[in-house]
A and B are shown apart, each in its own frame.
Chain A
């Protein structure tokens, strides 16, 4: 495997994503910024992996993320984990609310965008477009880097909390 060769499929997707990003519909999407997004590189053979990020809402009204889409997986869903007496149960959620002037934190063990039934094996450094659909019908396309969890393990803990 040639690791340095860019993944052509993803490069194509990325170009689409950039175009889509420029042309995204106005609305709640304009109030939303997404920081610190990454997809955790899945171990070989894994069926699914998670995308994590911090979604901020600069506007005066609550914005709810109601869906997510990506071309790299057959299903792309909003999920969370419930800890029931030490048993972690992953469940789909219907939306992720982002309070006005606040943020929603998607992180391992909690809320996340689930990429299920991967169509291709992601490598570190790949950029994957993910579209977040919002409750007013507008959408936000973000380009999310794939990170090797081992190389990013050290920064993962600090990353979420260190923003002011």
Chain B
């Protein structure tokens, strides 16, 4: 679905990615892991065209990224960031329906879709009249997830979706998200620094360090054949892994 080919990106004195190559398979869940500053969030921004690579090429469904296909690509992508990125001046419903209204959906269709999604993310629909500030952290991320799923995108990009939540809620949402991914059959890319989360959600794990891939494969491969000391250390830093 997504292919990075010889992509370089960075700020003048501080290159983040150098000749980076990665293929993200369609209909699978890929976790991008790494320490902060390893360039993992940058990859999502590059896919959405929020950042432009200095050199190299990114392919979205086989087609190179360009200004002409950018809007279409963004409409096919759902994007969720750590803070939720909900607009504080709009109600939850206003946030969720923003893109659909821009696309000229009929109100009836919008309502129907919102009801479906509320059921899917297990959010009480009566909460949707509230502004984001009047929602709890977990409710906000559920709303943000509904917004990301509104147009039924092919690609779901999740940037540290749960790291701002307390452990109990995080755990619950991780479970729900896994179930949801199982139902939806979409290409999912989740950025996380949490190995447990990556292992729980993703089929394919990618560990980054200083803009380079250290290891790529299933969690089992990571555990049984760590590519380097760094991989071992990174795994060891997360305790209580699911078996």
**Co-assembled chains A and B:** no
